[in-house]
Amino acid sequence: MRLRQPVTPVVVKIVEETTQEVSVADILVGAFGFVGAVLVAAAVVGLLAGGVFILFRRWRDARVPAAPDATALRLAEPLERGPAGRPISRS
């Protein structure tokens, strides 16, 4: 009869590469960077939407002529002021 030699187990321990340590400062910098990017994106979208609205109103006002019996309010024109600083009527 043959004698068997005792089997000794081989233990292989797999060690993963260590991860980089994350500090509170790293988290804060990332959060402020993300918030800054969101703010810049919101500002760009807001400016684009405002520009589109302004261009649409100018296009619409140029397309539709004013009625001849309509009263023009001239709200965009500056008021003329008299010597006491009070507005003067143009009529």
* Residue 51 maps to a domain: yes
Q: What amino acid is encoded at 86 in this protein? A: R
* Residue 27 maps to a domain: no
Q: Which domain holds residue 48?
A: 38-63
pLDDT on residue 91? 57
**pLDDT tens digits, 57-78:** 998 888 877 677 777 777 776 7
| pTM of the complete model | 0.50
The DSSP element (H or E) to which 78 belongs, if any, is none
* Residue 54 maps to a domain: yes
The values of phi and psi at residue 9, to 5°, are: -70, 145
